[in-house]
Amino acid sequence: MAKSAALAQVETLSRTSPAERTRRARPLGRGTSALTPARRPAPFVKWVGGKGRLLTQLDPLLPAGVERMRHVEPFVGGGALFFARAPERALLADVNPDLVGTYTAIRDEVDVVIRHLTKLAAMPHESEAFYGVRERYNRGGQSRAERAAMFVYLNKTCFNGLHRVNRSGEFNVPFGRYKNPRILDSDGLRIASHALGAAEIVNDSFEALLRHAKPGDFVYFDPPYEPVSRTASFTGYAREGFSQDDQTRLRDVFAELDRRGCKLMLSNNDVPFIRELYDRWNVDVVQCPRAINCDPNGRGKVPEVVVRNYR
Ligand SMILES: C[S@@+](CC[C@H](N)C(=O)[O-])C[C@H]1O[C@@H](n2cnc3c(N)ncnc32)[C@H](O)[C@@H]1O
């Protein structure tokens, strides 16, 4: 069977030198955002708070020389910045064990994941099929690769791509009524797998960074946001949510890594509590297009802060 252009590109890239790869793929933070015909890595899941629509605003805020630094993301989620940059060395972490298991399977056994996902994608997009997969997933007992395929399937077919679990850790997001969801993107998964090849992937809370981060690392923090108002809050990424105490402990980790000599960038909502926590560092404001509850139309541009310990 003829190889697709994107897959041929992955194979060619893996045979080229790092310098040549940089020249061809032109990822973010390397002095240009020019689009090239080559397909670039991108998130393989939809993720609440994903940074896809902010990348062009984050790009000029990356530190000089970022291409020589290890890329560290302790709240990786869908990994929009990681995939856009496709760095040579990375440490990715998230507290969500199912998400981290999926990243690891896509890095290490992408063909097996694709085989399982091919079967799931062939089912009719109907609620009965969705709830059948969801029930099997919650029962467990599958291989890591099959679970990864089920995770991607559920993400693409559930309501709004949410990830929510109940008290027993069972995935409980309902069926999403999409006309024709794109469940299987084999080339996209292979390109993502290639980008993850140089990444260490860890299932842990952000405080584990104190053990892992080294001077000279570039660390991007994209935590669950402090809500604009507590009633409009959505912090249900993990079972526990993310409280103001968590935000304060995160600031303490930021301060410790600053002392250690890491280059640090952090995103959050532009609210007084966050401004006060980070008042020692440089703060820029970016405008994020996203749905908000207090907007009568449900949509608008929301100011966000980007905190950095460098200029
Ligand atoms: C705003 S999302 C990150 C979005 C990501 N930057 C993207 O582009 O998709 C926040 C992530 O933090 C993770 N998270 C929540 N609490 C955490 C904790 N204590 N330690 C590490 N990760 C955590 C969530 O599972 C979620 O994936």
What confidence tens digit (pLDDT) does each residue in 257-272 have?
A: 999 999 999 999 999 9
Same domain, yes or no, for 272 and 126? no
The residue out of 186, 216, 246 marking a domain boundary is 186
Number of domains in the chain: 2
pLDDT cut 70: percent of the chain above it: 82
- Which of 21-25, 46-50, 69-73 bottoms out in mean pLDDT, i.e. has the lowest? 21-25
Query: Looking at the domain assignment, is residue 13 inside a domain?
Result: no
Residue 225 gets which letter from DSSP?
P
CA 55 to CA 33: how far, in whole Å?
10
Same domain, yes or no, for 209 and 73? yes
Kindly state the helix (H) or strand (E) to which residue 187 belongs, with its residue range: helix 186-196
Which residue has its alpha carbon closest to ligand 1 atom 20? 205
Same domain, yes or no, for 267 and 289? yes
Query: Looking at the domain assignment, is residue 50 inside a domain?
Result: no
Torsion 26-27-28-34 (CA) sign:
positive
Which residue has its alpha carbon closest to ligand 1 atom 27? 77
Query: Does residue 298 carry a pLDDT above 70?
Result: no
Query: Does residue 12 carry a pLDDT above 50?
Result: no
Query: Does residue 291 carry a pLDDT above 80?
Result: no
Same domain, yes or no, for 255 and 303? yes
CA 75 to CA 200: how far, in whole Å?
14
The C-alpha angle 30, 34, 35, rounded to 5 degrees, equals 120
Nearest Cα residue to 236 out of 172, 182, 189: 172
Using an 8 Å Cβ cutoff, are 219 and 195 in contact?
no
> Ligand 1: residues within 6 Å at CB?
47, 49-51, 74-75, 77-80, 94-96, 205-206, 222-224, 237-238, 242
φ and ψ at 169, to 5 degrees?
A: 80, 15
Query: Looking at the domain assignment, is residue 28 inside a domain?
Result: no
CATH number at residue 249: 3.40.50.150
Query: Does residue 237 carry a pLDDT above 70?
Result: no
Residue 70: band (very low, low, confident or very high) from pLDDT cuts 50, 70, 90: very high
Query: Does residue 33 carry a pLDDT above 90?
Result: no
The residue out of 123, 155, 186 marking a domain boundary is 186
Using an 8 Å Cβ cutoff, are 67 and 22 in contact?
yes
Query: Does residue 295 carry a pLDDT above 60?
Result: no
Q: How far is the CA of 77 from the centre of ligand 1 (A)?
A: 5
Residue 24 gets which letter from DSSP?
H
For residue 74, the ligand 1 atom closest to its alpha carbon is 21
Same domain, yes or no, for 179 and 308? no
Question: What pLDDT was estimated at residue 38?
Answer: 76
φ and ψ at 52, to 5 degrees?
A: -50, -45
What confidence tens digit (pLDDT) does each residue in 83-103 have?
A: 999 999 999 999 999 999 999
CA 181 to CA 206: how far, in whole Å?
33
Query: Looking at the domain assignment, is residue 32 inside a domain?
Result: no
For residue 163, the ligand 1 atom closest to its alpha carbon is 25
Region 121-129: mean pLDDT is: 96
Q: How far is the CA of 159 from the centre of ligand 1 (A)?
A: 19
What confidence tens digit (pLDDT) does each residue in 154-184 have?
A: 999 999 999 999 999 999 999 999 888 999 9
Same domain, yes or no, for 308 and 210? yes
The residue out of 156, 186, 216 marking a domain boundary is 186
For residue 43, the ligand 1 atom closest to its alpha carbon is 9
Q: How far is the CA of 272 from the centre of ligand 1 (A)?
A: 21
Which residue has its alpha carbon closest to ligand 1 atom 19? 205
Query: Looking at the domain assignment, is residue 16 inside a domain?
Result: no
The parent domain of residue 271 ranges over 55-95+205-311
Q: How far is the CA of 206 from the centre of ligand 1 (A)?
A: 9
- Which of 18-27, 76-85, 200-209 bottoms out in mean pLDDT, i.e. has the lowest? 18-27
Same domain, yes or no, for 155 and 127? yes
Residue 80 gets which letter from DSSP?
H
Mean pLDDT of the chain: 87
Q: How far is the CA of 79 from the centre of ligand 1 (A)?
A: 9
Question: What pLDDT was estimated at residue 268?
Answer: 97
Q: How far is the CA of 31 from the centre of ligand 1 (A)?
A: 27
In the structure encoding, which two tokens stand for residue 121, read together? 């994608």
